[in-house]
Chain A
């Protein structure tokens, strides 16, 4: 596959086309656009799509899932770990529910592969998406795992490559790169759980201590070891990123202004994070290549940036209370 997005599309279309009489799919409101926007597209093009909501910690209600799966549910597509918050869904448990109800489970595991142990030989997952650049492989390569016995119609129709599952000459160098990256990820897996997690926790704890009116978005423990999503009240995410960039610190934001669309993160909105906190959200992701010096550097430079922006901001704790009482211009 050329990337995670292709893999997600291939999985969902591949199952839909193989089961043309089934017109329903179940997914969530917090998927990556590769699945989220595909779901929107399908809903406009004759399919029934159920989007499961999440609670304020970003977790699903499994009873809601059980109730959502119907006889004509072709596929359930639920991500393994969220790309904005790092929240991990109980995918094996979800797989049992999906099996019991007689449907097929696809999981977008782009963020999970290489960071938490996965064992597909003992798993309820039918299809799994991964992407190279999230585990230090070259950019522009992905993979789709399809369990033996799953009927699948190729998304890219052509020659008989990949056991007739994807036409087109394989990108051999990238495939080798991905293979090597997986090998290394397995070797260093325990480091993600220990050292990387400690670095993340330290960064998070210290920033929370030094920058008041800050919150962590997403479940505190059911979360990838390398991700933290922080909301700083009264300031805006793009402004934070620009100032971080000046210091050579790379982060991303769920703020509307960074993305080109004017809508802030659909993931944080689905969690019911107030608009005020969504606008000032940033995500920091670490990897095994980060050091304690990197983390100390961020701890040193991020809180003053927040302070500086708050000095420019007309808002403070008091104005926020007024604002919320007086105005509901937010769309749910």
Chain B
């Protein structure tokens, strides 16, 4: 079993803000049953536009529940602009770290927040990361998403890419069979790195 920090355990065993808000101002939903984790985030704003209440429901493992719980605590009292600057690393840090293989749980938190903010602003959830070529069929991860995670977190290995967005996590189960998608991912990562140096 995983070596979770005390903070993760605390938020898993005693999750804060579980539930739903009636007439929420913003709702963000990400993940799916098939993928193995999902998060529904609901926000209520006060008159000054600050987040007065945040609630969540999560389907997922210990660190997914803990990340969602932490997220709701972190955003309370913030404006949407302020909340929008939170990163998945912030969530992980708030929990005194997550096992590397579980970083995708905090990524899911950030994505739910992004989705909720977009929902509030009445924008179609603008997620270029979901457009593009599907590189990992197991988890429906696109090349754009991989490039995004590589840049955002300065990832240098394929395992890290898997840890942050799950891509390649399905078919690499056999150590003897690195699998097609991993090869595909290596190429995408190369592309992303080229892109990174290009924008500097």
Contacts and interface: CB of A to CB of B under 8 A. Distances in A.
Does B associate with A?
A: yes
Interface of A: 36-38, 40-41, 44, 234-239, 241-243, 245-246, 255-258, 260-264, 266, 275-276, 279, 311-315, 320, 323, 327-331
B174 A40 contact: yes
Contact of A264 (B36, B57, B166): B36
8 contacts: A237-B61, A238-B62, A241-B1, A257-B60, A258-B1, A276-B34, A314-B39, A320-B33
Of B13, B37, B59, most buried by chain A (CB within 10 Å of CB) is: B59
B interface, how many residues as a size bin? 35 or more
Contact of B61 (A236, A245, A261, A263): A236
Nearest to B140: A329
B139 interface: yes
A243 B9 CA distance: 10
B21 interface: no
A238 B64 CA distance: 10
Contacts of B169: 256, 261-263
A264 B35 CA distance: 10
Contacts of A276: 33-34
Contact of A331 (B12, B137, B172): B137
A275 B31 CA distance: 13
Contacts of B64: 236, 239, 257
Contacts of B189: none
A255 B35 CA distance: 11
A314 B34 contact: no
A257 B31 CA distance: 15
Tell me if A's interface is mostly helix, strand, loop or mixed. Answer: helix
Nearest to A246: B13
B170 interface: yes
Contact of A312 (B34, B58, B138, B162): B58
Contact of B36 (A37, A38, A256, A328): A256
Contacts of A242: 1, 12-13, 62
Contacts of B5: none
A311 B172 CA distance: 33
Nearest to B136: A331
A315 B34 contact: no
Interface string B152-175: 000000000010001001111111
A139 B86 CA distance: 47
A151 B61 CA distance: 48
Contacts of A312: 15, 18, 57-59, 65
B32 to A, nearest CB: 6
B173 A315 contact: no
A37 B177 CA distance: 9
A311 B17 CA distance: 12
Contacts of B43: none
A264 B37 CA distance: 12
Contacts of A313: 57-59
Contacts of B38: 314-315
A261 B169 CA distance: 6
Contacts of B143: none
B182 interface: no
Contacts of B59: 234-236, 312-315
